[in-house]
Each structure stands twice: as structure tokens, then as C-alpha cells.
Amino acid sequence: MTPTDPTSPYDRPGPKASAGHVPGDHHAHDAHHARQGHAEHDSLYNEDVAHEETDVNVLQLIAYTIGTVVTCVVCAGIVLVLFNVLESQAAKDDPVLSPHALPAGQLAPEPRLLLNEPAELRKQRGMEADVLGKYGWVDQATGLARVPIDEAKKLLLHKGLPVRAGAPT
């Protein structure tokens, strides 16, 4: 049995054989690869594969870009026209204001709705806490006084409930 010696890729003529390439002339091929930057990657190099030598079709690229821009402008125009048509229809459907409606900026007559309910509630509770937490006269002519709640509870426990004269017992 004799060992087979496959032919070297350098010995086969390819479709893109270099000018002056002689089959079996490895030195000329190595010099060609050294110029091409393939000297260290001979096993990966394939003469049948090369870069694309045709350029990009610039006119087709420009035509595509112009077509895209024109399409965008046409779509924007359609959207603008549609928006204006729908806006005018919506304006026609708006109800007519009542002649009794107040002009903008004028407040409605009392009693008004609360504009800032949490702030109004804090203000009201502050006034109530001020009234309920201090001594003061409710009606000085009849001797009716206001006493803080905690003090009123202490007085009630200490003195008891007052009884009016002539009240049933």
C-alpha cells in the first residue's frame, strides 16, 4: 500500500491564478501571500474567495433615500390634513356656552365649592382646636364660659354634675 499525497492547494490552478504563478512554486506563492498579509495563515487562505470588486450602486441608494423622504413628507401632510379636519369637526360639536355662564376668572357666588379641601380642613380644625383648648366667654351676660375639654373633665370628676333648681330629681 502506498501513501497518497494529496495535491497542495498551491499546485492546483484556480480561477484567479496570479500572473506568473507556476504550479509547485511555493516561494512565489509565499511572496504573494506576504504582500497580501496571509503568510501566517496559509491553511486558511483560499484563492477562490476574494473581496467584492463592484461598488455600491450610488444612484439606487440616493433614489431610495429620496423616496423615503418623500414618503415621510407625504405621510406627514396626510396626518396634518386629517388632524385639521377632525379638529374642525370637534369644534363644530362643542356646545354653545350659556349666556348665564360666568366669564373666565370671575368667581361664582357664595357658597362656593372648596378649591383646596385639605388646606381648608386644616384651617377649620386649627380654629376648632383654638376654641376648644382655651378659656373664654360664650355669653358673659348669662355667665356661660368656655373651658378646655381636659379641664372640664377634671372639674366634672371633682365637683360632679350641676343640678338646676326646680329640676326633677
Q: What is the pLDDT of residue 17?
A: 46
- How many other C-beta atoms are found inside a 10 Å radius of the C-beta of residue 168? 3
- The stretch 86-110 carries a mean pLDDT of 84
Q: What are phi and psi of 144, to 5 degrees?
A: -90, 115
List Cα–Cα distances, 54 to 14, 16, 50, 58, in angstroms. 21, 16, 12, 12
- Cβ(16)–Cβ(50) below 8 Å: yes
Overall average pLDDT of the 1-11 stretch: 56
pTM: 0.32
More confident residue, 72 or 93: 72
